[in-house]
Amino acid sequence: MLLNQSGMLNTTATSVSDLIKFAYGVHPKQIIGGPAWMESDKFDVTGKPDTPGIPNVPQLQMMIQKLLAERFQLAFHKDKRELNVYAITETKTGSKITKADPNPLAVPGFAGGGQRGMNVRNSTIAEFAGILQANVLDRPVIDQTGFGLDRFNFILKWTPEGAQLQGAGAPPNAPPPVPDADAPPDIFTAFQQQLGLKLDSVKAPVDALVIDKVEKPSDN
């Protein structure tokens, strides 16, 4: 989702599934049903927020939710589905991450990723999980640390593997990185060594959006 300096939203070649994923903070595997064109058809979207200034992420999500309902006639109901997910938990030795200084005006920040390191600032673990499932990992990511609304600062460095390469910006079918003894470990090992957290593959009930109705928009 791109915003210009006036706060206007502009996206190009964006699928309805991508819009839903961003608007409701879900992984594609949490979107159940719907026609095939939700993935295959691409749309250019321009929108103006109904609040002054540059919208924050929740405001932008609300804006996309409204657009989906009005322009695509999107209707869905929520359900619980048991899916393969990655669960974030604390290791037995305890976490190594630092709590952020309380600041009600500060927004979460996520910069970089992979071997360069993802610089995470003022984030809850649930918000961090959302970034991982949207940009790095191939399944939903859930927070089971019990840290709640506590916010943290940390840097995570890992060497992407397989599908993670595209999440890190590599082109499709890109070859794996050349082995480097100084390269950081895979993301699962990096979680334990650098954060004192675990990223485990488990089955768990997660929220799912079951599509009841969606239509292609008329030309405007």
Nearest to 24 by CA among 55, 68, 54, 56: 68
And the tokens for 113?
């990723």
Token reading at 103: 């600041």
The total number of residues shown for the chain amounts to: 220
Query: In this predicted model, what pLDDT tens digit does every residue of 32-73 receive, in sequence order?
Result: 999 999 999 999 888 777 766 667 778 888 889 999 999 999
Instruction: Say what the pTM is.
Output: 0.78
Q: What is the mean pLDDT of residues 4-33?
A: 85
Q: For residue range 125-137, list pLDDT tens digits in order.
A: 999 999 999 889 9
Residue 175 confidence (pLDDT): 61
- What is the DSSP secondary structure assignment for residue 128, as one 8-state letter? H
Structure tokens at 138: 């191939």
Bigger pLDDT: 161 vs 111: 111
Calpha distance 170→55 (Å, rounded): 30
DSSP secondary structure code for residue 70 in this structure: H
Q: Which two tokens stand for residue 209?
A: 């959006």
Please give the pLDDT value at position 58. Answer: 81
Position 100 confidence tier, pLDDT thresholds 50, 70, 90: very high
Backbone angles phi, psi at 120, to 5 degrees: -105, 125
Distance, in Å, from the CA atom of 115 to the CA atom of 15, rounded to the nearest integer, reads: 29
Q: Would you state the pLDDT for residue 53?
A: 66
- Please give the mean pLDDT across all residues of the chain: 86
Which comes out higher in pLDDT, residue 134 or 5?
134
In the three-class reduction of DSSP (H, G, I as helix; E, B as strand; rest coil), residue 17 is classed as helix
Does residue 170 register a pLDDT over 80? no
Task: Say whether pLDDT at 176 is over 50.
Answer: yes
Does residue 97 contact residue 150 with C-beta atoms inside 8 Å?
no
Q: For residue 128, give both structure tokens.
A: 């961090």
Report the share of the chain in percent with pLDDT over 90: 65
The H-or-E segment that residue 76 falls in is: strand 75-90
